[in-house]
Structure 1
Amino acid sequence: MIPGVLIHSKVAEQAQSAILTKEALSFLAALHRTFESTRRSLLTARGEAQRRWDFGVQFNFPQETAHIRADASWQCAPPAPGLEDRRVEITGPTDRKMVINALNSGTKTFMADFEDSNSPTFANMIHGQVNLRDAIRREIDFQTGGKNYRLCEKPAVLIVRPRGWHLDEPRVTIDNVPMSASLFDFGLYLYHNAQELVLRGHGPYFYLPKMEHYLEARLWNDVFIFSQSYLGMPLGTIRATVLIETLPAVFNMEEILYELRTHSSGLNCGRWDYIFSFIKKRRADPSAVLPNRADVTMTVPFMDAYVQLLIQTCHKRKVAAMGGMAAQIPIKSDPKANDAVMEKVRQDKLREVLAGHDGTWIAHPLINKIVMDVFNEHMPDPNQYHILREDVKVAVADLLNTHVPGKITDEGVRSNISTSLAYTAAWIDGNGCIPLNHLMEDAATAEITRVQLWQWIKYGSCLDSGQSITVGYVDNLIDDLAPGVKQSYAGVKEDKLAVAVEYLKGQIRQVWPSEFLTSDLMWHLAVADGVDVVAGGVEEQWRMAAM
């Protein structure tokens, strides 16, 4: 319909016709042609920065922006309608039942996720757009097992997380180039819903993931300005919360807020992705080896420093400092175990609200009351912007402090392997959010498990028993544990599990770990959606990245 724009899949064809309209595709093409070259240059800059860190250049706050950090006069825009009070936010993928249940959960907001809790099959991406469009217009319903699901009278405020700058959307090419997955998700949602959201008293609100530098935030801000002009909307209608979930981003927090100040609604502690990034970005540093992931809690030095600095930074600029995820799922079959898990959630959220967070995340509606009670008791106002945390003094060394008490155990290695295999197999099969060991896991956990196994092998780590962690040791455990993965997560399919085994064995042998498993394995989804990735050697490029 649009010159230069091609759709390479007929999956969800009826939904495509409703979402991939001529007008929407024209908007996507305008976004791509305006911003793709900048996105590519910023991704190249990521690789150049990584090579500098590999050669021993120290992480630090940018010298060229010291004046921005020193200037106490600037603040971000005041909260947009519906974002004044965000004490509990629920997150999850955009399937129809999930959207209804999350909006009905009683939380203040719902982050509808096209990213880490979503496997980006084309059907998932397109149906997700349909579901959000219908929810905004109060036209969404769902029937299953004789039960009807409909929206309540006052649903949660909707926030959408598009995929990160590093990801392509291979099912859509513009001028023979796959378009940015970020702009695909953002552009379709904004085009179809921005005006309707404003008419209903809110606006188009977003969570922005995986950024590493303030120039990446500048690109988003330029996209916002362009998009509002294109759609005839006032400047500042779009608002965005940035997830600080990469190690480089923690040194750019004030600059990220500054770049987005007209459109900013705060920062979020993306705790699991942050641990993943901490390991990956310090891949050449043998002093950065971490123990079992269960021991890397929010109270260890580098995590505590990250949280304290984020809260101080946000409140200095009068925006929300959002806490991390409570991934726990209620254990209905064991009341005693459930009470212990819920108490763990309560203590974690108590730590957050007392530290000064303005809200937090949950993954299950039944956790809402526990978390809401904690924030209601300790945060009587809509937020805590007035708590400036001027007592906080965080140095570079604090953010890099790897003195983490704990050890590496056989059970820790086994847990990493089982989790990595189960999630990777599910993701390839189209499911990006799965329950494992009473936790709702997404891509961030799979990424931590993958890079930890690589790190332990790379630097010759030993178990607490003295056993060396070698490729052979991990290989044998992968083979031993793979059959049991189907029992821990019943949805795992044999052929998808075989791919997950091959991928993990390839990863532990790499000189450096791959940037993202979602990039490595996207070709599986593209092939299933009918994209001819073999043409032009695209499959080989992906396969080489994955092995």
Structure 2
Amino acid sequence: MFTSMVRGATPVFRRAALEGYPDIFTAQTRKVLAALSGFEPRRRELMNLRMERRLKRHRLGGAESSPAFRDPEEQIGSSGLRVGDAREGNFAGSEIPHDLRRQWIQGTGPAARPREDELQGLRNVAYALLSGADGWMFDGEDALGQRGFMSLDNQRNLKLAIQRDPRFLETAEQVSLEMNRWSRDFFGRDIIQNWHTAMNFTTRIFRVRGLHLADRHVGTQEGELSAGICDAVLYLVNNHRTLLRENRSLVLYLPKIQTAEEALLWNDILDALEDELELPRGTVKVYVLVEQLEAAFQLMEIRAVLGSHFVGFNTGRWDYINSVSDALAGNRDFLNPDIESVTMTYPYMAAYEDRVRRAVNTSDRNGNFALWQGGMEPNIPVGNPQAVTRGMEKALAGARREQQAGASGKWVAHWKMVHVIRPVWQEAGEDNQLGRQFPPLSYDDASAEELLRLEEAPRTLRGVRNLVSVAMQYGNAFAQGFQAAALKPGEDFQDQSVLYLMEDAATGEIRMSILWEWIHKNARFTHDDEQGGVKSGDLIDARLVNRIIQTEFERLQKADPRNVHEKSKHTTLPVVRRIIRRYLESERKIPWYIDLLNLCLHVTEPEAAEKRLDLYLKELENNRRYTANPELETGDMAEEAEIS
């Protein structure tokens, strides 16, 4: 039985955050944060259970290490629901609100930029709201940098835009002209006819951070406070009145959920938030990102416990691949191929997508279905004409496949892609694919095996270089404040036929997971590479990978500044190289690459980074995941009672 919420906990704040962001930390937001901080003990229990399950799987190894379907007679926490009830649709879900019924294209991206002034952040929001996307998920998680006060800049810029502050409106008018200049060159037409009208079209959506992360600016007297709770409170408290007055839904994306009990915690948090804001139950709607292997075994249970809040699932490729690799780290027979081979049609990915579409098309007791928002399109139309043409053809083919498979819409990583992809759903014509007929979900051994199924695919030297180069570039971009960046392997920098892809935190995670997997499970190359001196059957061992790490590091140090920030080559890039080596050397697989990057933010000396990495690994030996922020352990905190 989990600890119940205890109201009245006292939050503590970074003084610099309170002084710099009084418009975000209003009296009401501080009051609601105090109320919802009572969920923190329960969150910590759930995160401890995550670590215990993970350790157990790694120790068991083999097939026994895999997640499994739950007993249908099992109760789901304090929800009053049996697993079997959830699977049979014996629960009350949600009708889809008017502004979510057609979400053909959702764009994603943050409302803040690193080391940029407020105007540049407002430009991000203007691009989003003028893009023509049906919805825009303003990201507080994987695509938002964590340097300094970026999470608060993100909230401030959104508040200014949602409230139509004159500074934002002036920015939006200028941005609309720039967008039309680009579209006339690319499409031969304007994409914005009237920027005032265009501003009203897009549904505002916010992605909070996952339960596994602690906030950098707010804590409790006992220690950490969930970053996800902080994000949800700041976004909804500051913006709910304006959004509801404009007849807009309050919509969140919830990431990184592993179990129905974690979803139940989110449900209770949302219920409490609605109570604090005096809103009817179910006013706040949520999509759940299916990014974790465990969640794929509990889709209906997750949907059921979120009840009137739940509107849909999203299938995100990169995070899910990472979770599969991490969950099966103890199974020496499970080895991924080159990352390019693990597309949405790869066996275990196809099985995961199929379960999602069948789960959303299972009706609740009132006949309600849910939405399936397809995965990310990372291509961007930047490069030579031939490369752009190929990239756009590939993007359209992926969108058509998802639409035909049953998705009601898709994500894009850049505003320029909205009008490229949108015609796929326009041609289909239907607002969504709610209630499309698919076979009912099954829960037998064969279904479980499908979620773990591999097929033979290449494992190459170029694949290793790709993993190393992009992981290192991503880590360096993160350290510079860019948690989303346009990347491609370093050996392709001069090749204009290879497009950059918009990548966020998940791309670093999966590359590090697969590298660790190959080294520690004695993976072998499947193809010869005469130039690289490897043959099919050769081991992918630590010695070889370390050599490639050094080669790619030197390549990045020589790279053009447009690919690698010049200053970073002798500051953050050496730190990231050290982080990568420590991650890959660890016999105990590290849960998240992002943990180490967060821990070493603002660090520019590898020796200083080593001390923090030592602390993290020491905690991991005791099966504890260290998420504290060293910058906040200096006493620069103020209790609510001290705030006038």
CA contact (8 A) 2:358 2:440 kept: no
- Show the counterpart of 2:159: 133
Indicate how the Cα distance of structure 1 residues 154 and 179 shifts in structure 2: closer, same or farther if over 3 A, else same.
Answer: same
- Show the counterpart of 1:413: 464
CA contact (8 A) 2:596 2:613 kept: no
Q: 1:363 aligns with which of 380, 396, 413?
A: 413
Indicate yes or no: 2:250 matched with 1:204.
yes
Indicate how the Cα distance of structure 1 residues 114 and 384 shifts in structure 2: closer, same or farther if over 3 A, else same.
Answer: same
SS of 2:554 mapped into structure 1: helix
Q: CA deviation at 1:543?
A: 6.4
Q: 1:185-240 CA deviation, whole Å, 9 max, x = no partner?
A: 11111111112211111132100000100000000000011111111111111000
Larger Rg: 2
Give the TM-score taking structure 1 as reference length: 0.92
What letter is aligned with 2:31?
Answer: S
SS of 1:504 mapped into structure 2: helix
Indicate yes or no: 2:23 matched with 1:37.
no
Indicate how the Cα distance of structure 1 residues 513 and 52 shifts in structure 2: closer, same or farther if over 3 A, else same.
Answer: closer
What letter is aligned with 2:505?
Answer: A
Task: Decide which moves more: 433-442 or 518-527.
Answer: 518-527
State the distance in 1 between where 2:29 and 2:424 align.
Answer: 43
CA contact (8 A) 1:517 1:546 kept: no
What letter is aligned with 2:376?
Answer: M
Q: Any residues of structure 2 matched to 1:17-32 within 5 Å, and which?
A: 17-32=22-37
What letter is aligned with 1:361?
Answer: W
State the distance in 2 between where 1:234 and 1:381 align.
Answer: 30
State the distance in 2 between where 1:142 and 1:125 align.
Answer: 22
Q: 1:462-506 CA deviation, whole Å, 9 max, x = no partner?
A: 222233211111111111111322527233612110111000000
What letter is aligned with 2:552?
Answer: L
Q: Any residues of structure 2 matched to 1:333-482 within 5 Å, and which?
A: 333-378=383-428, 380-390=429-439, 395-403=447-455, 405-437=456-488, 438-463=500-525, 464=527, 465-466=535-536, 467-482=538-553
CA contact (8 A) 2:516 2:584 kept: yes
- Show the counterpart of 1:313: 359
State the distance in 2 between where 1:143 and 1:420 align.
Answer: 38
SS of 1:29 mapped into structure 2: helix
Give the TM-score taking structure 2 as reference length: 0.79
State the distance in 2 between where 1:526 and 1:432 align.
Answer: 14
CA contact (8 A) 2:134 2:202 kept: yes
- Show the counterpart of 2:191: none
Q: CA deviation at 1:5?
A: 3.4
- Show the counterpart of 2:184: none
State the distance in 1 between where 2:331 and 2:65 align.
Answer: 11
State the distance in 1 between where 2:65 and 2:584 align.
Answer: 25
Indicate yes or no: 2:307 matched with 1:261.
yes
Indicate yes or no: 2:289 matched with 1:243.
yes
Q: 2:56 aligns with which of 43, 49, 52?
A: 52
Indicate how the Cα distance of structure 1 residues 310 and 175 shifts in structure 2: closer, same or farther if over 3 A, else same.
Answer: same
5+ unaligned residues in a row in structure 1: which ranges?
Answer: none
Q: Among all aligned residue pairs of Structure 1 and Structure 2, give the percentage whose two residues are the same amino acid.
A: 28
SS of 1:10 mapped into structure 2: helix
State the distance in 2 between where 1:94 and 1:428 align.
Answer: 18
CA contact (8 A) 1:503 1:546 kept: no
SS of 2:454 mapped into structure 1: coil
SS of 2:136 mapped into structure 1: strand
CA contact (8 A) 1:7 1:173 kept: yes
- Show the counterpart of 1:108: 134
Q: CA deviation at 1:173?
A: 2.0
Q: CA deviation at 1:72?
A: 3.8
Q: 1:186 aligns with which of 232, 235, 238?
A: 232
State the distance in 2 between where 1:264 and 1:296 align.
Answer: 29
Q: CA deviation at 1:539?
A: 8.0
CA contact (8 A) 2:83 2:301 kept: no
State the distance in 1 between where 2:231 and 2:170 align.
Answer: 26
Q: CA deviation at 1:516?
A: 1.5
State the distance in 2 between where 1:100 and 1:335 align.
Answer: 27
CA contact (8 A) 1:170 1:526 kept: no
State the distance in 2 between where 1:545 and 1:153 align.
Answer: 48
Q: 2:104 aligns with which of 79, 82, 87?
A: 87
Indicate how the Cα distance of structure 1 residues 91 and 190 shifts in structure 2: closer, same or farther if over 3 A, else same.
Answer: same
CA RMSD, 1 decimal: 2.5
What letter is aligned with 1:10?
Answer: A
CA contact (8 A) 1:423 1:434 kept: yes
Residue correspondences, number: 534
Q: 1:332-377 CA deviation, whole Å, 9 max, x = no partner?
A: x411111111111111111101111111100112221231111111
SS of 2:209 mapped into structure 1: coil
